[in-house]
Structure 1
Amino acid sequence: MVAEPVLATVEMLNLAYSKVSDFISSLTNATYNTNIYDKVSKFNPFTEDHHFQPTKSLWEKVEDHIVEHRLAYISVLSVGIGLGGYFQYKSKASEPKNGLRRRVRKLPNGARRDAVLLVGSPTEPLTRLMALDLEKRGFIVYLTILDEKDEKYVEANSIMEDLDYLNLSDSYSFDMHLSKFRKLLQMPVVPFVGAEPHTLNLLGIVLAPLLYFPIGPIENITVASWLKVNERLNVYLKLLSSGLVSMAREHKSKLIVVYPNVVRNLTIPYHAPEAVFQSSVHSLFTALSRELYTQNIPVTHIRMGNLNVSSHDKSYDKSKISSLVASEMKGWNEDVKSIYADRFAKAEYRANPIRSTGKGTSLRDFYHTIFDVLYSKNPPKVIYCGTGARTYEWILRFLPQSFLDLVLR
């Protein structure tokens, strides 16, 4: 009685095995009768087909595709990074700074104490605007006088009466001027009768940007123009070598250097004086920041893009560029005109839209940036402010030099 169920079970298993075997055989025959086997056999690593190439890995295929279409990838990546950085900057710029009203902190008796030394020429509009904004926010501002032209301008313009000055034009000894300035900072100040005396606190030293440079072919730029650019760079070198750093160390002041970033990155043709000067300033203060890093003397680079320094629209205007090109070429001799006139005009039509990208960032954002760095406990080493300041720097890092040559040539 027991054996019958066992036999029945074995027969059922044999029947199932037979049906499965028949099904697999039918599928195998169907596969052999199609071209699927031929396609699959090509992936056999042991095939004897000598024309067969080993299959590349997924990473190798991706790498080959990137190399083949590298310009497209670089362009898309550059635009993406630029847009991402721009929107991140705008979002952070719109955030409130912990409720800070951006007004200078005063002493309990209402007296002002925080001072700023602004190194720049009062004849330059942006430097004047920076000085006046810092003064309105409550700083005691000391603006440098670099030459006789600056001295005459200050004497003739009453708008600068509320500012104090550090005159560097009457002597080549910067050590003497800085020594007097240090003694001034150490002198007790009595803001009003009966008030407790205090000394000034040099919160920061701001190096204002130089924006106006001669343009044109390098061989046509005069020696006097090169010397004038070099004199401005020498101002920085003399100050740094005459006690400016030790004064910053003594007062725990912040060093802030402001310079345009677009021409420095792209090295636009016919703008060699500006490219040389801004690159020198960048290299000088980058080296200085690394030297002073362990001494807790912060050096911050504010790399400027396009700022809206006037009320009217400064967008790309062909008539303005045409007028600029014509006035610049008036002083050229005929030989220089015959060689460079056409290329200079074309280069300016390409460069001006880059240097004047739309309306630009408002000056208020620029002022807020400087103020925030002055009162920051740990100021960043680099800050970008202005349209195009960050974008063109990233483009230079990713795009090949040959591409920029085609665009700017």
Structure 2
Amino acid sequence: MSADDQQFLDLLSSIPNQIRRYSGDVAEYVDKTVDKVADEIRDTLSTASWIPDYARPSLPSRAPPVQVIPVTTYERFQDWISRHKFLTGVLIVAAGYATYKTVRITKGMHKHRRAKRARNGGRLEVVVIAGSPTLPLTKSLSLDLERRGFIVYIVCNTIEDEVAVQSLSRPDIRPLGIDITDPPNAGQSIEKFAAYLQASHAAVPRAKPNFLHLKAVILIPSLNYQTSPIATIPPSSFADLFNTHLLHPILTIQSFLPLLTSRITPTGEKSATPKVLVFTPSIISSINPPFHAPEATVCSALSAFTEVLTAELRPLAIPVTHVQLGTFDFQGFTPVRMNGAAGVPGLLPPAEPLQWPESARHAYGRNYVSQSSSAISAGRIRGLRGSSLRELHNAVFDVIDGSELSDVVRVGLGAGLYGFVGRWAPRGLVAWMMGIRKVDELSSWEAGEILKSDASASDSKSEKSGSGSSENGEASASEFIAVARDDDGHNVWKLG
């Protein structure tokens, strides 16, 4: 069969398919035309007046016309929620937390906070504050607790501290003389105070005597720290700092532990559980920024000490609360103003970059100045006055009366925020935000520069002490750091 014959056969075989398609199109067109004509005839006859009603054709039911209804705000809101489920969940959690905090703060503001009194109006509950009477925080807290009905005792180590307490001119704010540096004397003072609590006391003459109850011991370490690079802090300043800011608070709590664990309760009286509150600033110790080694080291050590103390006293049913402080507005309380640290143990001299050695200025000067002008310089949030002291007073009272049972209480502007930043934010990001930048140029090493500066500092110290002997002067010009000796028996960290 030739190709022409095959092409002819293919054409013949495709004719039925084309006839079927064309016939289908014609039939569909005819049906639509007939239906259209029938509808027109039906519409015409149904509206003709000359046709009787029984013979008039009825119109078929038609679908109602489509109406465009505008979407309401509620429906648009539902559609937005369905398209942004994750963001909606975050907003709900944030709104719930804000509502909870608002309700709790509002409820706390209206809470009636007063110490328990006797039937004749006498004061029954005693609070001991172990903190310097010159600190604004000690003054404000003692005055508030006295106003709420407590008998407040402030631990005093010197005559000057007792004079500062008496200057408050409040009969129920009293000095409690305890020399922490002398353990036997401190023990005798604690025994006298315990005997005082065990004896009955009358608020006014001829009134019924009542027994006093120790409610809490509040530890307020020094909250003032100087800033300086670690390289410019003498070892003796570190030693004084640890003695006054760290060792002194630890010894204070240690002196009161026998009184706390003895559960002093007069005969026939219900046993009362005293509470321990330890205050520490939390902004600097949360993020540990550069040039804040004294505060970061001391506060971290006090936090660890508080955790151990909590674990030891928990089986004895003595609650310990760590109060982490933010920034507060101390307007109305005159802070202690000190020019330098001469004669004041535990405080570092003001860090002036111009007084540093040239090598220290090259290495740390620019970053120190940038950090000093940052938003949290010296542990305060620049531009903000801080939280009201009423917030702190309410938190302390809630811990004392048992309303607040948490082991850690954060109060004050920035306490919670910087705690979160310290736990989750990268250290490099925090330092960069505080203005810390890479140092490209450093000074060259000069042999004997450090030794000369330390020797001159030691010589000036020996001249102030009035030592005229050359041997004593040579001995005082050498300072040691307690490290292991080398094989030859020489201390490699000997300066001078």
- Using structure 1 for the length normalisation, give the TM-score: 0.69
Cross-structure match for 1:300: 321
Give the alignment partner of residue 220 of structure 2, picking from 188, 197, 208.
208
1:235 correspondence with 2:235: no
Could you tell which deviates more after superposition, 230-239 or 287-296? 230-239
1:367 correspondence with 2:393: yes
| 1:155-166 equivalences in 2 (<5 Å) | 157-159=167-169, 162-166=172-176
Give the alignment partner of residue 389 of structure 1, picking from 415, 440, 446.
415
How far did 1:152 drift?
5.4
**Counterpart Cα distance in 2 of 1:400 and 1:103:** 44
CA 1:378–1:160 in structure 2 vs 1: closer, same or farther (change >3 Å)?
Answer: closer
How far did 1:243 drift?
4.3
**Counterpart Cα distance in 2 of 1:82 and 1:211:** 33
Cross-structure match for 1:355: 380
Letter in 1 for 2:203: P
Letter in 2 for 1:383: V
1:265 correspondence with 2:273: no
Offset from partner CA, 1:356-381 (integer Å, 9 cap, x none): 16232111111111111111166221
Identity score, percent: 26
CA 1:236–1:344 in structure 2 vs 1: closer, same or farther (change >3 Å)?
Answer: same
Cross-structure match for 1:175: 187
CA contact (8 A) 2:151 2:172 kept: no
Cross-structure match for 1:111: 122
**Counterpart Cα distance in 1 of 2:354 and 2:177:** 34
Offset from partner CA, 1:90-131 (integer Å, 9 cap, x none): 54222247x642122211011001010001001111111111
| 1:116-131 equivalences in 2 (<5 Å) | 116-131=127-142
Offset from partner CA, 1:185-221 (integer Å, 9 cap, x none): 1121122233222221011111124211121112222
CA contact (8 A) 2:330 2:389 kept: yes
Offset from partner CA, 1:219-259 (integer Å, 9 cap, x none): 22244543343223222322333342542551510111111
Offset from partner CA, 1:246-294 (integer Å, 9 cap, x none): 4255151011111111111111211111111111111101111122222
Match of 1:95, SS state, is helix
Cross-structure match for 2:232: 220
Letter in 2 for 1:253: P
1:135 correspondence with 2:161: no
Match of 2:324, SS state, is strand
**Counterpart Cα distance in 1 of 2:279 and 2:94:** 21
Offset from partner CA, 1:44-73 (integer Å, 9 cap, x none): xxxxxxxxxxxxxxxxxxxxxxxxxxxxxx
Letter in 2 for 1:303: Q
Letter in 2 for 1:310: Q
**Counterpart Cα distance in 1 of 2:356 and 2:388:** 40
| 1:4-403 equivalences in 2 (<5 Å) | 88-96=100-108, 100-147=111-158, 149-151=160-162, 153-154=164-165, 157-159=167-169, 162-169=172-179, 172-173=182-183, 174-230=186-242, 231-244=244-257, 246-248=259-261, 250=263, 251-310=272-331, 328-329=351-352, 332-335=355-358, 336-352=360-376, 355-356=380-381, 358-376=384-402, 379-403=405-429
CA 1:94–1:229 in structure 2 vs 1: closer, same or farther (change >3 Å)?
Answer: farther
CA contact (8 A) 2:162 2:175 kept: no
**Counterpart Cα distance in 2 of 1:81 and 1:259:** 31
Unaligned segments of structure 2, at least 5 residues: 1-89, 264-271, 334-349, 437-496
Letter in 2 for 1:332: Q
**Counterpart Cα distance in 2 of 1:169 and 1:243:** 12
CA 1:141–1:83 in structure 2 vs 1: closer, same or farther (change >3 Å)?
Answer: farther
CA-based RMSD of the aligned residues comes to 3.1
**Counterpart Cα distance in 1 of 2:232 and 2:94:** 36
Offset from partner CA, 1:339-360 (integer Å, 9 cap, x none): 4221111111225367316232
Match of 1:292, SS state, is helix
More relative contact order, 1 or 2 (CA 8 Å, 6+ apart): 1
Match of 1:372, SS state, is helix
Higher helix share goes to which structure?
A: 1
CA contact (8 A) 1:127 1:209 kept: no
Letter in 2 for 1:255: V
Match of 1:204, SS state, is strand
Match of 1:214, SS state, is coil
CA 1:349–1:120 in structure 2 vs 1: closer, same or farther (change >3 Å)?
Answer: same
**Counterpart Cα distance in 1 of 2:96 and 2:363:** 42
Max Rg structure:
2
**Counterpart Cα distance in 1 of 2:98 and 2:221:** 22
Could you tell which deviates more after superposition, 374-383 or 349-358? 349-358
**Counterpart Cα distance in 2 of 1:162 and 1:377:** 24
Match of 1:286, SS state, is helix
Letter in 1 for 2:211: T
CA contact (8 A) 2:289 2:431 kept: no
**Counterpart Cα distance in 2 of 1:378 and 1:352:** 29
Letter in 2 for 1:337: R
CA contact (8 A) 1:82 1:390 kept: no
**Counterpart Cα distance in 2 of 1:243 and 1:170:** 10
